[in-house]
Structure 1
Amino acid sequence: MEPVEINAGAWYLRALRADERIDDRPALAEGGITDPDYVAIRTAQWDAETHFSWAVCEPTTAELVAEIIVTPTGDTSADLSGWARSGYEPALETGATAVRRFMEGALGLRIP
């Protein structure tokens, strides 16, 4: 599956990136994620449909402030987790609500 972008009001959700235009790795490092292959791994997981992840971003700068991860656990269920950089917990909460609606409405996955 191709990554899906979501508008969550004050926040913009997109796939993680590490390219010539946007590099999320410095923000990921602030969140404790220092694996240089992390973005590539998350991209491959989208392709395999084993995990779905979103960078919760400031809409004007595209700066990553949080990450939301959905892991399918069965035919109709999934777990949702995430983390936020210090001070951005409200972005994580808002983004998680939007992702939950998307997963349940578009993919039929129930998130407890």
Structure 2
Amino acid sequence: MEPVEINAGDYYLRAFRNDDRVSDLRALVEAYADPATRRYLYALAPSSEAAAEMYVQFMTMGWEKNYRWSWAVCDAVTAEVTAGVILHNLDHRLGSAEVSCWTHPAHRGKGVLPTALNAVLGWAFGGAGLHRIVYKHAVENPSSQRVAEKCGFTLEGRLRDNEIIDDQRVDELQWSRLATDPAPEQLP
């Protein structure tokens, strides 16, 4: 599948890139250098431009093989990367996926992620025909919980000892949103 670009008002969502015109490498290294981002998304954490290049290739391959769809969330005016949204564990037969997302530390608290994720969900349910999207996060991550709530996800339950963070087993909350759920009202 070719990468899908999404206009989300103040933000423009496009595939992660590193080419002769656009490079997201520095923004990826900066975002993942943040302790909170690394803490919760350590498996994907590019700590150098070489690792960020591999990250971009990994995301690009997901589009090419149609098993992972990812977006760099960019400011519509400056084109600066402000966040990232990834739909992974795609199951085309069931019409399901799981979402992972992050916000660049310089852009937290500005509503970037709820705006971008709601735009992705609109496309995923409408354009891509998905039916169910799961969102999981560590119980002690209130920022992720606020994103889930603002994006209209329904809390399904607590997954005990489902993740390892800081070398400790932690519980996660699992949320889902269905194509048949009403669109969320934007919360402040």
Q: Which has the higher strand share?
A: 2
> Who is 1:67 aligned against?
84
1:77 aligns with 2:69: no
Q: Which of the numbers 57, 75, 79 marks the counterpart of 2:74?
A: 57
- Mean CA deviation greater in 1-10 or 34-43: 34-43
Runs of 4+ in structure 1 off by over 4 angstroms are none
Written as runs of structure 1 = structure 2, the 5 A alignment for 1:1-112 is 1-32=1-32, 33-34=46-47, 35=51, 36-71=53-88, 72-73=90-91, 75=93, 76-89=95-108, 90-109=111-130, 110-111=132-133, 112=176
**What percentage of aligned pairs have identical amino acids?**
42
What's the offset of the Cα at 1:74? 5.4
**If the length of structure 1 is used for normalisation, what is the TM-score?**
0.92
Aligned-partner Cα distance in 2 for 1:53–1:63: 16
1:58, 1:65 within 8 Å by CA — same for their partners in 2?
yes
Residues 9 and 76 in structure 2, CA contact (< 8 A), matched pair in contact too? no
Relative contact order higher in (CA < 8 Å, ≥ 6 apart): 1
| C-alpha distance in 1 between matches for 2:126 and 2:8 | 15
Residue 61 of structure 1, CA deviation = 2.0
Q: Give the Cα–Cα distance (whole angstroms) in 2 for the partners of residues 98 and 43 of structure 1.
A: 20
| Cα distance in 2, alignment partners of residues 88 and 104 from structure 1 | 27
Query: What TM-score, normalized by structure 2, do the two folds share?
Result: 0.57
Q: What amino acid maps onto 2:87 in structure 1?
A: V
Give the length in aligned residue pairs: 112
Q: Deviations over 1:23-47 (max 9, x none)?
A: 1010000111331311111111101
- 1:45-96, CA deviations, whole angstroms, 9 ceiling, x for partnerless residues? 1011111000000112211110000011452111111001114241111100
Contact 1:70 1:81 in 2 (8 A): yes
